[in-house]
């Protein structure tokens, strides 16, 4: 059974760095073809793909946010991390991680975490 769960600070101040963790089970990120992505959703709005990391450690970023994003994974291949630097109010959103079916840069999200809400406020 594939499960993913996000965790994060809940609230942080503008200009700080947001650190998120995605803990998953039911698959290993060391398996060829496995990818985990981060997606966010401001309240009442649509979804935005942020970043992804694959089994080989290759990383993919949304160009609109690339300068502020860092995606990484742990050595046990059961957790993926996302850091967003210099946050502001516009980064307030629910952040999801999702297992990604990935084929030469194309794919879809087949399993999603429950999401973690992050509020940026002074």
Partner 1 sequence: DIQMTQSPASLSASLEEIVTITCQASQDIGNWLSWYQQKPGKSPQLLIYGATSLADGVPSRFSGSRSGTQYSLKISRLQVEDIGIYYCLQAYSAPWTFGGGTKLELK
Nearer to partner 1, 55 or 109 (CB): 109
Instruction: Report in angstroms how near the CB of residue 18 gets to partner 1 at its nearest.
Output: 19
Give the residue among 34, 35, 24, 12 at the shortest CA–CA distance from 92: 12
The CA distance from 35 to 29, in Å, is 7
Which is closer to partner 1, CB of 55 or CB of 102? 102
DSSP letter for each residue of 13-50: -TTS-EEEEEEEESS-TTSTTEEEEEEEE-TTS--EEE
Using the rule CB under 8 A, which residue among 25, 28, 30, 64 binds partner 1?
A: 64
Check binding of 108 to partner 1 (CB under 8 A): yes
- List residues near partner 1 by CB under 8 A: 46-49, 60, 62-64, 96, 101, 105-115
């Amino acid at each position: 059974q594939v499960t993913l769960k996000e965790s994060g600070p809940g609230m942080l101040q503008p200009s700080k760095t947001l650190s998120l963790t995605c803990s998953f089970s039911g698959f290993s990120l060391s398996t060829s073809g496995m990818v985990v992505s981060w997606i966010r959703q401001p309240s009442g709005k649509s979804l935005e793909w942020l970043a992804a990391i694959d089994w080989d450690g290759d990383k993919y970023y949304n160009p609109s946010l690339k300068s502020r994003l860092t995606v990484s994974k742990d050595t046990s291949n059961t957790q993926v991390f996302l850091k967003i630097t210099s946050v502001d109010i516009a980064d307030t959103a629910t952040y999801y991680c999702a297992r990604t079916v990935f084929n030469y840069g194309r794919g879809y999200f087949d399993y999603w975490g429950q999401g973690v809400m992050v509020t940026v406020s002074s």
